[in-house]
Structure 1
Amino acid sequence: MKRLALLSTVTATVLILVLPFVGGGGPGIAEQAAADSGRVIPELASAAPAAKVQPTAKVALAASGYEMRIAESAVAVQVGAESSASSQDFEHLAQKAVPKPFPVTPAGRASGTLQRMAAYAARGQSCPGNIATRTSGAPSKVSALGVGGTTSGDLALFAATYNQIRVANCLQPVRYFRYDSCTEQRLFWMAESPSLDPNDAWGHMGSTRSDGVPSVGCDGNLAGGSGNTGATVATKWWNSPAHRASLYRPGSSVGSNVCIAFAMTHGGVPNEPYSFTRAAARWTYC
C-alpha cells in the first residue's frame, strides 16, 4: 500500500509539472512556429535581410528536465518566407514610367535647342524643369464700343503655354506674368476700327486707322485671328523668328525680375465675334 501511495504521488507531481506544456495551457510551441511562419510580407517596400534561424530550437522545461524541439519543417517555412521577401524587388513595382520629352521642332532647332541640350548633358545636368508661375490676373475690361478685354484665364493660359515651350526647348522658365493695360489700349484701338478689314489698324506706334485716328497705347509683339487663345498666340510667337527673338530671347538669361506682359481683346466693330482675338506681349521687368 505504501508503495502504491508513493507511486500515485510521483505520478501526480509529474502531471502537474508537464501537463501545461503538453496542451491546453495557452499557446504551444507549434502554434508559435506557425504564427512566425505566416507573418505578412510587406508590399512595395524593400524587405530587411532575413535573420539567421537555427534548423532546430530547444525549449527547456526546467521543472522537469523535459525538452521539445520545433519541427524543422516549420522553421523551413519561416526561412523560405523571409528569403522570398528579401529577394523580391518591390521598389521597382512602384516606379512610374518617365514621360518622353517633347520632340524638337524646326523652330526649336533654329533657336539652338539641340546645342543647349548638349551643353547641359556635357556638364552632367538636365535641362531646366518647369516652375510655378505667378500671374497678376486681369480685369476683363470692356472698351467704350463693347470690345472684350483681357481675362485672367487668357493670361494664365498664355503663361502656361509660354513656359511649356521654353522648358521643351531647354530654356529657363519665367516666373512672373502680368496684365498689360498699355498694350491692351493698342488692341482696343485696333478692334474699334470701323473698317471691315481686320488688318486695317494692325500696326505699331505712329500708325493710323482708316478713320484717321492715330495709334494709342504701347507696342508689343502682335498676333491674333479667329479662334485664337493665349496658347495659340504663344505658339505663333515662338514659331516666328523675329517674335521669338523679341519675346523668348533664347540667348538671354532669365533673372528674378523678368516679367512677360500680356493683353488680349475679344471681338471688334463693326461685326467681329468674341472668338476673334488680338493679343500683344512683351519682355519686360517687374
Structure 2
Amino acid sequence: MHSTHRERESEVIDLGSAVTVMTLASAILLAVIVALGAVTVAPAGAQSAGANQAVAPSATSEPAPTVLSEQPASSTEPVDGQASPEPSATGRADGAPAPVSPGAAGVSSIQRPQPSTPVAPFAAQPAPFGTPSATPSPTSPSCPAAITGQTAGAPGVLSPLGVGGTTSEDLQSFAEGYNAIRVANCLAPVPFANIRYDSCMEQRLFWMAEDPSTDPMSAWGHIGSQRSDGLPSVGCDGNLAGGSNNTGASVAQKWWDSTGHRTSLYKPTYTGSTANVCILFATTHGGVPNEPYAFMRAAARWTTC
C-alpha cells in the first residue's frame, strides 16, 4: 500500500518536472524567435531598445512595413524622380534590415514615396511699358486774334449839289466793325491799311443821292437802275446798304447778316492770307431835295491790293 502511494507521488513529481521543463523550453524558444525574426525596427533617429527592454512580437507572421524618412539620401543616380540611397550590407541605407515582401523570400522591396507633380512657378505677367493715356481729343485750330490800326482816311468831299461824302470817321468805323465781325467768326482780319476809301463807288452814290425824286428808293440799286430825271449812271458798283442813322459799323453788320452780301464781302471760305486783300468803302450823307444828313447810302467790295 505504501509503495503504491509513493510510486504515484513519484509520477506526479516526474510529470511536474516534465511540465516545468517544457514550459522553460517554450520560453527559451519564444525568446529565440523574438530575437531572430520578430524584432520591430524603429524609425530612423529612434533610440534602439536595450537588452532589458521588452520587444513585443508582431501579431502576424508578416513583418510590419518600414516607414522611410522623408529626407532622401544623396546619390548620383535618380530613381523615379528621387535620389536612390546606396544600400548597405543589411539592405538599408541606415543599416536596418529591409522588409521582405510576402511570397518573395529573399527579395527586398523598399517603399519609396511617389514624386509629386511638379508645380510650375507662377509666371508674372510683364507690366505694359508705360501707362496708356487717354486718346487726346482733336483740338480745333485757334481763331485769329483781333488787331488794331488806323485807315488812311477819306477826304470828306461834297457833291455838286451839296451831298456829303465819305469822311475819315466813316471809314474808320467801317474798318473796325468789319474786322470785329471777322474775328468773332474765326476769320482772319484785314490789315487796316488795306481798308480804303474808294472815290469811284462814291461817284455812283452821289448819282443816287442827287435824284430829284422825293422817293429815297429812286435810282437805288446796282448798275442798271434808273434815275427819275433819266440822267445816266456814273461811277462803280458794289455791295449796297443804307438808311437813317447808320454808321460805318452798322452797315458792316447789315452786310454780314445778309447771306449773299456776306459771301461777296467777307468770303468766309477764303483761307489764304489777307495781306494782299483790300476792302474798298464809300458812303454819302443826305440827298436832294430834302434828305437829312443822317440818311446814309454806303457801298463796299472785296478786291486785290
TM range (shorter): 0.5 to 0.7
Which of 175, 180, 183 in structure 2 is aligned with 1:167? 183
User: Deviation at 1:203?
Assistant: 1.6
CA distance in 2, matches of 1:259, 1:134: 14
Corresponding position: 1:284 with 2:303: yes
Residues 122 and 131 (structure 1), Cα distance of their counterparts in 2 relative to 1, 3 Å cut: farther
CA contact (8 A) 2:165 2:285 kept: yes
SS in 2 for 1:142: coil
Please name the residue that 2:246 is paired with. Answer: 228
Query: 2:204, 2:152 → 1: CA distance?
Result: 20
Match of 1:201 in 2: 219
Structure 2: how far apart are the matches of 1:225 and 1:141? 20
Give the Cα separation in 2 of the matches to 1:141 and 1:122. Answer: 53
Per the normalisation by structure 2, the TM-score is: 0.53
Give the residue type in structure 1 aligned to 2:301: R
Distance apart, 1:204 and its partner CA: 1.4
State, as a whole percentage, how many aligned pairs show the same letter.
69
1:267 and 2:251 correspond:
no
- Give 1:149's aligned residue: 165
Q: Deviations over 1:218-259 (max 9, x none)?
A: 010000000011011000000000000000000013431101
Change (3 A) 1:122 1:134: farther
Give 1 or 2 for the bigger CA radius of gyration.
Answer: 2
CA displacement 1:24-70 (0-9 Å, x = unmatched)? xxxxxxxxxxxxxxxxxxxxxxxxxxxxxxxxxxxxxxxxxxxxxxx
Distance 1:165 1:150 in 2: 22
In structure 2, the partner of 1:214 is 232
Q: Note if contact 1:127-1:171 (Cα within 8 Å) is conserved in structure 2.
A: yes
Cα distance between partner residues in 2 of 1:266 and 1:130: 30
Asked if 2 retains the 8 angstrom alpha-carbon contact of 1:133 and 1:174, the reply is no
| Partner Cα distance (1:132, 1:241) in 2 | 27
In 1, Cα distance between the equivalents of 2:297 and 2:161?
A: 16
The answer (yes or no) to whether the contact 1:225–1:277 under 8 Å persists in 2 is yes
Letter in 1 for 2:293: Y
Structure 1 residues 278, 230: CA separation in 2 closer, same or farther (over 3 Å shift)? same
Distance in 2 separating the partners of 1:258 and 1:135:
14
Alignment partner of 1:153: what SS? helix
Q: Does 1:130 align with 2:149?
A: no
C-alpha distance in 2 between matches for 1:195 and 1:172: 42
2:188 touches 2:274 (CA, 8 Å); kept in 1?
Answer: no
Tell me the distance in 1 between the aligned counterparts of 2:259 and 2:209: 26
RMSD across aligned positions (CA): 1.4
Following superposition, the deviation at residue 268 of structure 1 comes to 0.3
Amino acid at match of 2:220: W
Q: Highest relative contact order (Cα 8 Å, sep 6+), 1 or 2? A: 1
- Structure 1 residue matching 2:254: 3-state secondary structure: helix
For the residues of structure 2 that align with 1:258 and 1:145, how far apart are their CA atoms? 34
The aligned counterpart of 1:245 is 263
Assess if the C-alpha contact under 8 Å between 2:277 and 2:304 holds in 1: yes
Higher helix share: 1
Structure 1 outlier segments of 4+, above 3 Å: 121-125
In 1: Cα distance, 2:140 partner to 2:253 partner: 30
Gaps of 5+ in 1: 1-120
Name 1:185's counterpart in structure 2.
203
Classify the secondary structure of the residue corresponding to 1:260.
Answer: strand
**Does 1:255 find its partner at 2:274?**
yes
> Using the alignment, how far apart are the partners of 1:199 and 1:217 within structure 2?
18
Moved more, 181-190 or 205-214: 205-214
SS of equivalent to 1:195 = coil
- Tell me the SS of whatever aligns to 1:190: helix
- Equivalent position SS for 2:275: coil
Measured in 2, the distance between the counterparts of 1:258 and 1:220 equals 16
SS of alignment partner, residue 135 of structure 1: coil
Instruction: List alignment gaps of at least 5 residues for structure 2.
Output: 1-136
TM-score by length of structure 1 reads 0.56
What is the SS of the residue equivalent to 2:242? strand
* Structure-to-structure mapping, 1:77-92, within 5 angstroms: none
